[in-house]
Amino acid sequence: MTTLFSRWRNNQSAFEALVMPHVNGLYRLAYHYCGQQSDAEDLVQELLLKLIHRIEDMQKVERLRPWLAKALYHLFIDRLRSQQRSPIDAMQPEQLEILQEGSVSGESSERLVLIDNIARALRQLNHEQRMLVVMHDVENYTLAELESILDTPIGTLKSRLHRARAKLRQILTDEGTKSLSTAC
């Protein structure tokens, strides 16, 4: 019994050592997927619970960050599909906020307005476009990592990212034009 407990404890320590450096990044990614703090926390917790028994597999992974992001992405998609099949209409929040690190008290009002405009524009992208822009441009995943995470060829990712950025640019330009015309 003692050896079983010590083996479990060693596995727990190894799991924490592997995963802890990635938890904040996983949470930010989950927050961008879910758009709500409690849902993001639940998603990350569910992922960690599923992975704790796969410590041997995780130790063999060469680049753990994209591997974990892929697992989180698939878990999110599974949850989304499950909710869509559910007879109970689970309301999804439409508001996506940019996750701020630290206090916003030192932020300039122009920067906060810019962040708010970008968040509003991101909400207008479809789910796939928003996820791709957030993962690449906000969370800094490379195209090679995204190819693995999303199981999509790099060429396709490049064209989708280009279209998403163009649409985002158009939305921001249209909003800027609207705000200028209402100010005059």
Fold of 1-87: Rna Polymerase Sigma Factor; Chain: A (1.10.1740)
pLDDT tens per residue, range 105-137: 455 677 777 777 888 888 888 888 988 998 898
183 pLDDT tier (thresholds 50, 70, 90): low
HSE at residue 136, side-chain half, CA atoms within 13 A, is: 21
* Residue 178, token pair as written in the block: 């609207």
Q: How much is the average pLDDT of 86-97? A: 39
CATH of domain 107-184: 1.10.10.10
- Tell me the per-residue pLDDT of 28-61, one tens digit each, with 9 for 90 and over: 999 888 888 999 999 999 999 999 888 888 889 8
* Tokens describing residue 22: 């990635």
What do you get for the CA distance between the two ends of the chain, in Å? 77
Contact 97, 119 (CB under 8 A): yes
Residue from 118, 132, 119, 124 nearest 162 by CA: 132
Average pLDDT, whole number, for the chain?
79
| pLDDT greater than 50 at residue 6 | yes
> DSSP 3-state helix, strand, coil percentages of the chain (rounded to 5)?
80, 0, 20
Of 68-72, 112-116, 139-143, 153-157, the range with the lowest mean pLDDT is 112-116
Q: How far apart are CA 43 and CA 172, in angstroms?
A: 31
Q: What are the extents of the domains in the chain? A: 1-87, 107-184
Please tell me the pTM assigned to this model: 0.61
Look up residue 62 and give its DSSP letter.
Answer: S
Quick one: pLDDT band at residue 67, thresholds 50, 70, 90? very high
pLDDT at res. 164: 94
